[in-house]
Amino acid sequence: MDNARFADQIQQGCKALGVELGEDVTPRLQRLMGELLKWNAKVNLTAITAEEEVLEKHFLDSLAVLPEVEGAGSVLDVGAGAGFPGLPLKMARPSLAVTMVDAVGKKVGYLKAVIAVAGLGLTGTKAVHTRAEGKPEAEGLPRADRVIARAFMDLPDWLDLAPAYLAEGGHVVAMLGKAQGEDELRAQAEKRGLKLVSARAYRLPFSGAERQVASFAKQ
């Protein structure tokens, strides 16, 4: 995909999602896509390989949750895989302290390599190789203002695990493939001493695929 088309698709997509990016972010996102596809030819990081699909299903879907992290100082992305949503969020909001964790060493190897690429603006981002089991100190993981995951666990398991990583006043953020009713989200939260802060359905801008993002806080 040429630079102009990439920039146009990101711009159109962000407009449809209602999120804003600084001017310098798009070229860095494009370079990140180049790194991902280059590495993916050698190491299996993602099953999505067509550029248009990577742009929408990985990049725009990650950027879609910017409203849920706005105002936070730190984000922990659990089961980050090839860095989604953590890497696009960091690129979009450079002041965020982002930590990504994954149980698979080759994925964390990739994350560490892209963090080190000069000019991507990822300096200070952390990638940790461990299995997240709810023991932040033992696992070497920080507590964060937003503890987020995409395509990691079912909602009930995520709501059991994630609160252990919350900083005071933080939110657990769940990126869900299929929208659930607010009553169901509230019931799942209350069972675990959590409260539903917000639930928002959205569609990916080009395919129209449905998504939902829900935020929870300790009661």
Candidates 66, 87, 53, 80; CA nearest to 205 is 53
Tell me which of 17, 76, 96, 101 binds ligand SAM, using CB under 6 A.
101
Closest CB 13 distance from ligand SAM, rounded Å = 17
Write the burial class of residue 188 (CB in 10 Å: 0-12 exposed, 13-18 middle, 19+ buried): buried
Tell me which of 7, 16, 97, 104 binds ligand SAM, using CB under 6 A.
104
Can residue 107 be called a binding residue for ligand SAM (CB under 6 A)? yes
- Answer whether 153's CB lies under 8 Å from 132's CB: no
Tell me which of 6, 84, 158, 216 binds ligand SAM, using CB under 6 A.
84
Choices 73-81, 112-120, 181-189, 204-212; region in contact with ligand SAM by CB under 6 A? 73-81
Number of residues that bind ligand SAM (CB under 6 A): 16
Closest CB 105 distance from ligand SAM, rounded Å = 9
Angstrom distance (rounded) from CA 146 to CA 71? 10
Choices 35-43, 98-106, 110-118, 204-212; region in contact with ligand SAM by CB under 6 A? 98-106
Can residue 102 be called a binding residue for ligand SAM (CB under 6 A)? yes
| The token pair that represents 78 in the structure block | 């659990």
Tell me which of 6, 39, 59, 152 binds ligand SAM, using CB under 6 A.
152
Angstrom distance (rounded) from CA 29 to CA 34? 9
Q: Going edge to edge, which strands form the sheet with 210-218?
A: 126-129, 97-102, 74-78, 144-150, 166-176, 210-218, 194-203
Q: What are phi and psi of 91, to 5 degrees?
A: -65, -35
The footprint of ligand SAM (CB under 6 A) covers 78-82, 84, 101-104, 107, 131-132, 150-152
